[in-house]
Amino acid sequence: MTVVVVLLAIAVGVLALLVFGLLRTHAEILRALDRAGISLDDEEAAGSSAGVVPDRSQAGASTSPAGARDLVGTVPAGGPTKIAVTGVAHFTLLAFLSAGCRTCKRFWEAFASPDLELPGGDTRLVIVGQDPAHDSESAMAELVPPGVKAVLSSAAWEDYDVPGSPYFALVDGSDGRVVGAGSALRWEQLRDLLQQALDDAGLSARSGPPQPRASARHSGRSRELRADAALRSSGIGPGHPSLYGGRSDSNRENGADSAEAGD
């Protein structure tokens, strides 16, 4: 009987050690995922904290909770960079995203759309990832849409107290403060929450209505269309003498005939 009791005690001790080891390994895995901004249940995590909290604190030093900091880090698959979000005349939407976050996928797709409308009349989008030691730099480089600024900076995640991805902060560059910060499940929800934060802060009149983000491939064509419209409104169309140094159509034709005769 004594032998049986001893064997049972040994077995219980071994099982206790195994369970302790498994729990410790599980905790280490969870901490690693948390540092990478990856949640095992993105829907529940984002849903429980969805919303943008307006910051009504007075503007002050960047060390205050409402203070914003410029971004210093590296470009995905590039070199060092610094992006100013304070001391500028526009708003900046900071999108803290990760390559492996499922909820982030919706925002990657939304930010790639040329019809994306950012809250405010003059708002710039900047995607902020973590240092290459905490996230895949090559994956981030592939996910960043063309024409959108991006920086890898774990220091920025600490400066803005980012609990995990996706997370967003709207910065008023004129006074260097965070207008609102929080998370959401999809872009449409976030856009409405950010607009509400602007309304609550009394900045809607200055920011103006949401404006579409001009993509790199559309900006040149847009300038051409605006230039053509301005010329037409002034009565200048194709063949107008002012487009050819004041020469008329007949003069241009005579000039061309003279050139052919000279040949």
Q: How far apart are the first and last CA of the chain?
A: 122
One domain, residues 51 and 156: yes
Residues 169 and 137 occupy one common structural domain: yes
The reply to whether 90 and 144 lie within a common domain is yes
Q: Which amino acid is at 17?
A: L
Q: Does 95 fall in a domain?
A: yes
- For position 251, what pLDDT does the model report? 46
84 and 171 share one domain: yes
Residues 163, 241 share a domain: no
**Amino acid of residue 112:** A
Could you tell me if 200 and 54 are in contact, meaning their C-beta atoms sit under 8 angstroms apart? Answer: yes
Domain membership flag for residue 150: yes
pLDDT for 86 equals: 95
Whether this prediction's pTM lies above 0.85 is answered by: no
Indicate if 208 and 103 belong to the same structural domain: yes
Q: Quick one: 189 and 223 in the same domain?
A: no
Q: Are residues 112 and 172 in the same domain?
A: yes
pLDDT per residue of the chain (263 residues) written in tens, 0 to 9:
788 777 888 888 888 777 767 767 765 665 555 555 455 444 444 444 455 554 433 333 333 345 899 999 999 999 999 999 999 999 999 999 999 899 999 999 999 998 898 987 789 999 999 999 999 999 999 999 999 999 999 999 999 999 999 999 999 999 999 999 999 999 999 999 988 888 887 876 555 555 555 444 444 444 454 456 555 666 666 666 666 554 444 444 444 444 444 44
* Same domain as 228, residue 176: no
Report if residue 17 sits inside a domain: no
- Asked if 81 and 175 sit in the same domain, the reply is yes
- Read off the CATH number of the domain in which 195 is found: 3.40.30.10
CA dist list (Å): 65 to 100, 161, 195, 232:
28, 9, 21, 52
Distance CA 37, CA 130 (A): 9
Residue 36 belongs to some domain of the structure: no
Domain count, the chain: 2
pLDDT at position 222: 42
Q: Within 10 A of 263 (CB to CB), how many other CB atoms are there?
A: 5
What is the span of the domain harbouring residue 236? Answer: 219-257
The pLDDT value recorded for residue 22 is 75
| Residue 93 domain flag | yes
197 and 243 in one domain?
no
> Does residue 27 sit within a domain?
no
Domain match, 102 and 176 both: yes
